[in-house]
């Protein structure tokens, strides 16, 4: 019987018990396939080092789309009712949006942002494109009347890595936030106003380079 993937991993890191180790060795002596599998897994550090042509973004999206949030598994009747409600809600939303647009034609707001959110020119440190050598603190200029600031750090592809809300204009990252050396990250600050408006800074990019304490 061939070795399992777990056997191979354990054998490579010396985690097999004596009896299993001996029987794995005996098997490998006569099994070309398993020896090949073993040697292949042993090359993991090489794989991590090697450069390969990048993945097409459309394929990443295709792979990503393989897993979508699950929908309810109700009966056909409830599905129809749910769909019916969605259609009605959609129509109502369209009517409201058209009405609002007609009433506030002189003030055009972005279709992608709520009225309460708007861009603000905040001075941020580290600056856009900066190379960060240590887990230095993040600083930003204050916004008059803001009662708090929300800081968010993202992976380069947009996935949220960490966020916090505080009243200061600087923050030191907790030890739980780990940067990969050589990787780029994005960050921004939102100023929270007493009248529920939110001012967002522009997104800044920085690259973490090893050289200082992590």
Partner 1 sequence: MEDRELLDQLFSGGDASASAWRAFLQKYSNLFLKIIWQFEKDRDEVMEKYVSVCSRLMGNDFAVLRKFPKELGLKSSDFPSWLVAVVRNISVDLHRHSQGRRRYPKALLRLDPIDRKIFDLYYWQGYSLEEIGHQLDLRKNGKGTDVNESFARILRMLTRYAPRERKATFPTSVPFNENMFVPDEEEPRVDVALFDKWLEGLPAEHRLVVRMRFWEDMSAVRIARILKIVPQHRVYAILQKSLQKLRTHVERNMASN
Our finding on whether 41 is near partner 1 (CB under 8 A) is: yes
Nearer to partner 1, 67 or 77 (CB): 67
Residue 60 C-beta: closest distance to partner 1, Å: 6
Only segment of 10-18, 102-110, 129-137, 203-211 that touches partner 1 (CB under 8 A): 10-18
How would DSSP label each residue in the chain?
-PPPHHHHHHHHTT-S-HHHHHHHHHHHHH-HHHHHHHHHHHTHHHHHHS--PPPPHHHHHHHHTTS-PPPP---HHHHHHHHHHHHHHHHHHHHHHHHHHHHTTTS---TTS-TTEEE----EESPTTEEE-S---EEE---TT--EEEEEEEETTS-EEEEEEESSSEE---TT--PPTT-EEEEEEEEEPTTS-EEEPPPEEEEE-SSS--
Per rule CB under 8 A, is residue 19 in the interface with partner 1?
Answer: no
Q: Which of 19, 36, 73, 106 binds partner 1 (CB under 8 A)?
A: 36
Residues of the shown chain interacting with partner 1 in the complex, contacts defined by CB under 8 A: 4-6, 8-16, 21, 25-26, 28-30, 32, 35-44, 47-48, 50, 52-53, 55-56, 59-60, 62-64, 66-70, 155, 157, 159
């Amino acid at each position: 019987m061939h070795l399992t993937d777990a056997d191979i991993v354990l054998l490579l890191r010396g985690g097999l018990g004596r009896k299993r180790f001996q029987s794995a060795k005996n098997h490998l002596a006569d099994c070309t396939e398993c020896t090949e599998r073993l040697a292949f897994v042993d090359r993991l550090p090489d794989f991590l080092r090697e450069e390969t042509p990048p993945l097409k973004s459309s394929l990443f999206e295709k792979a990503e789309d393989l897993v979508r949030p699950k929908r309810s598994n109700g009966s056909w009747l409830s599905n129809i009712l749910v769909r019916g409600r969605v259609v009605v809600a959609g129509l109502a939303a369209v009517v409201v949006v058209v009405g609002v647009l007609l009433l506030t034609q002189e003030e055009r707001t972005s279709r992608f942002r709520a009225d309460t959110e708007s861009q603000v020119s905040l001075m941020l440190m580290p600056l856009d494109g900066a190379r960060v050598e240590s887990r230095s603190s993040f600083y930003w200029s204050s916004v008059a009347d803001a009662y708090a600031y929300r800081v968010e750090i993202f992976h380069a592809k947009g996935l949220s890595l960490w966020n916090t809300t505080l009243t200061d204009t600087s923050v030191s990252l907790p030890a739980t936030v780990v940067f990969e050396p050589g990787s780029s990250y994005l960050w921004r600050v939102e100023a929270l106003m007493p009248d529920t408006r939110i001012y967002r800074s522009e997104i800044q990019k920085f690259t973490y380079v090893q050289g200082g304490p992590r």
